[in-house]
Amino acid sequence: MKQRTLTILKPDTVARRNCGAIIARLEQEGFEILGARMVRLSEEQAMAFYAVHKDKPFYRSLVEFMTSGPVWPMALERDNAIEHLRLVMGATDPAKAAPGTIRQQFASSIERNAIHGSDSPENARTELAFFFSAVELA
Ligand code: IDP
Ligand code: MG
């Protein structure tokens, strides 16, 4: 069944000019891009987006990284989109990411790991709504 998920091309991807390669990969994987808009997150916005991690030791640094430059959130649609994106992204730590995954190919560290992907249907809904209105994705 068709499902929607949110990805974000993170500041390292934009800075290293890997957006095109990653978008091409996502399209090859059968994702349709329903919405995309380059944004610069404020500290408050990055903190809110990653609020589930607020007690983690890496939270402060993550917020700093995510506000360090423009990011490119995208609404994606595909069969089984959430799980498939997680598979194609690879593990959070590029050192543990499977060969051929986006993070194995493009991430520079466990923090600067190229791309975000929603991890559940509930979080996909919340995260899509964080960046896109219902009208934009209609
Ligand atoms: P995910 O992006 O694979 O779902 P999460 O555990 O949700 O990973 O963590 C959110 C983001 O926080 C990661 O993508 C990465 O940028 C950063 N992060 C996660 N774990 C660490 C860590 O141990 N050190 C530094 N940054 C981390
Ligand atoms: Mg996550």
- Residue at 83 is within a domain: yes
What's the pLDDT tens digit per position in 43-93? 999 999 999 999 999 999 999 999 999 999 999 999 999 999 999 999 999
The b-or-e profile of 75-85 (16+ CB within 10 A means b, else e) is bbbbeebbebb
- Residue at 137 is within a domain: no
The pLDDT value given to residue 138: 82
Give the structural domain span for 14: 2-131
Residue 68: which CATH number?
3.30.70.141
- Residue at 73 is within a domain: yes
- Residue at 125 is within a domain: yes
Tokens of 14: 């934009």
Counting the structural domains of the chain, the total is: 1
Q: How far is the CA of 34 from the centre of ligand 1 (A)?
A: 25
What's the pLDDT tens digit per position in 24-55? 999 999 999 999 999 999 999 999 999 999 99
- Would you say the pTM of this structure is higher than 0.95? yes
- Residue at 136 is within a domain: no
The DSSP result for 23-56, as a single string, is HHHHHHTT-EEEEE--B---HHHHHHHTGGGTTS
Looking at all shown ligands, the one closest to residue 90's CA atom is: 1
- Residue at 64 is within a domain: yes
Q: Which atom of ligand 1 is nearest to the CA of 89?
A: 3
The pLDDT value given to residue 22: 99
Q: How confident is the model at residue 15 (pLDDT cuts 50, 70, 90)?
A: very high
Q: How far is the CA of 86 from the centre of ligand 1 (A)?
A: 13
The reply to whether ligand 1 has any atom less than 6 angstroms from the CB of 62 is yes
